[in-house]
Amino acid sequence: MIANGSRVSIEYTLTLDDGSTADTNVGGDPLVYTQGEGEILEALEEALAGLAVNDEKQVRLSAEEGYGAVDPEAFARVEPDAIPDDARHVGAMLVAQDLEGERRAVRVVEVGAEEIVVDFNHPLAGQALNFSVRILGVE
């Protein structure tokens, strides 16, 4: 059974409320994590505690339990020269360094002649997360 310190292998599919699949590892390598180490979302980890090999579980996390609400302070206006030419379109994903020196994914959300607006929120911020999980291994 999954307990703190267990090395756990899972197969999962993550869907959003609109029915779209945001991520899956079905048919690929399992996700391996250590229970209690904060390597996956805390609320998902809690929901999987006590399960055993071959157990399956559907887990719904609110936006707050997942990647949080959209933070209006996490948008930045930058000069077009700060964005590569091929990424100057809405939806482009880039990697930027934040003020603490951490690398973060950013998304272009608005393109104008004088400025471009980028979003530093996690791409799944503000979304409820629906996981379908199967336990493949517990050590």
Domains of the chain and any CATH numbers: 7-67+125-138 (3.10.50.40), 72-119 (2.40.10.330)
CB-CB contact of 86 with 93 (8 Å): no
Q: What is the pLDDT of residues 14-47, one digit of tens each?
A: 999 999 999 999 999 999 999 999 999 999 999 9
pLDDT of 99 above 80: no
Backbone dihedral angles phi then psi of residue 45, each to the nearest 5 degrees:
-55, -45
Which residue is it, tokens 């059974």?
1
Which residue is it, tokens 């400025």?
115
Q: What would the mean pLDDT of 124-137 be, rounded to a whole number? A: 98
- Determine the Cα–Cα distance for residues 118 and 76; give it in Å rounded to an integer: 5
CB-CB contact of 118 with 109 (8 Å): yes
Mean pLDDT, all residues of the chain = 96
Q: What would the mean pLDDT of 94-104 be, rounded to a whole number? A: 83
Q: Give this prediction's pTM.
A: 0.84
Distance of CA 22 to the CA centre of its chain: 9
Backbone dihedral angles phi then psi of residue 72, each to the nearest 5 degrees:
-65, -20
